[in-house]
Amino acid sequence: MEWTTIASLATAGGTLVLAVATFAAVRSANRSARVTERALLAGIRPVLVPSALQDPPEKIGFVDDHWVKVPGGRAVAEVTDDAIYLAIALRNVGSGLAVLDRWDLHGERLTGDVSRPSPDGYRRLTRDIYVPAGGLGFWQGALRDRADPLFADAREAIDARRPLTVDLLYGDHEGGQRTVSRFVLLPHTDGGWLASVARHWNIDRPDPR
């Protein structure tokens, strides 16, 4: 075998080894970057649940100067001649600030294996509501248009003391990691409402289940 052929084969082999090593290094770097990104996102990810029954109450005001007091672990569903007022006492069990953005209401308790909801038709809050990491807060919403079909459904459910379902859309303080948490408002024998959380959905990334 000629030395030129041997040299060419050696050069080709060295190039192949270098290419394989470069490919492995790039894959490792990309994997490390993804792990780092997930860790950073987890550090600012909010998760909302109802507050505990022993938590202090939340005093909540609406734009029309209507005020409600929501005890820990509870919710409010009030009907007046002009509006329907809704509120939930919340706790953020995640590690990042929660910024509430939109919501949806169902005049019944949704059960069963349901697909991830689409927040496109959700109602926008008139203001951002913030719940600190590891802290307490609330959600509030109101229905004022009596011509809205949801107004009649919600009023009928509240008057009949039937459970309600509320979907809350929120994200982190960067505007990402949008999550929909489904809460159920359950009528209590004392005339109030208990709050429970049924499910969480990731909107911007795959769900873990």
| pLDDT surpassing 60 at residue 2 | no
How sure is the predictor about 189, in pLDDT bands with cuts at 50, 70 and 90? very high
Q: Is residue 139 scored above 50 in pLDDT?
A: yes
pTM of the model: 0.81
Q: Taking a C-beta distance cutoff of 8 angstroms, is the pair 43, 162 a contact?
A: no
Give me the phi and psi of 120, to 5 degrees please. Answer: -60, -35
What is the structure's pLDDT at 161? 97
Q: What is the pLDDT of residues 79-130, one digit of tens each?
A: 998 999 999 999 999 999 999 999 999 999 988 767 788 899 999 999 999 9
The three-class DSSP label of residue 173 is: coil
Q: Which residue has the higher pLDDT, 190 or 35?
A: 190
* Residue whose entry in the numeric block shows the structure tokens 């029954």: 53
Burial class of 141 by CB neighbour count within 10 A (0 to 12, 13 to 18, 19+):
buried
- Relative to beta strand 179-187, strand 164-171 is antiparallel
Q: Is the pLDDT of residue 196 over 90?
A: yes
> Which of 13-17, 111-115, 181-185, 203-207 tops mean pLDDT?
181-185
The residue among 140 and 42 whose pLDDT is bigger is: 140
Angle at 193 between CA 64 and CA 76, to 5 degrees: 10
By CB neighbour count within 10 A (0-12 exposed, 13-18 middle, 19+ buried), where does 67 fall? Answer: exposed
Query: Is pLDDT at 1 greater than 60 in this prediction?
Result: no
Instruction: Name beta bridge partners: 164.
Output: 185
Mean pLDDT of 54-83: 96
Closest CA to 56 of 126, 138, 115: 138
Return the structure tokens found at 97.
């600030």
Top-confidence residue, 27 or 57: 57
pLDDT band at 53 (very low <50, low <70, confident <90, very high): very high
Give the pLDDT mean for 166-191: 95
* Residue 147, helix vs strand vs coil: coil
Evaluate if residue 34 carries a pLDDT over 60.
Answer: no
Coil/strand/helix, residue 76 = strand
How far is the C-alpha of 185 from the C-alpha of 63, rounded, in Å?
Answer: 23
74 neighbors 195 (Cβ within 8 angstroms)? yes
pLDDT recorded at residue 75: 98
The one-letter amino acid at 182: R
Residue 68 in 3-state DSSP? strand
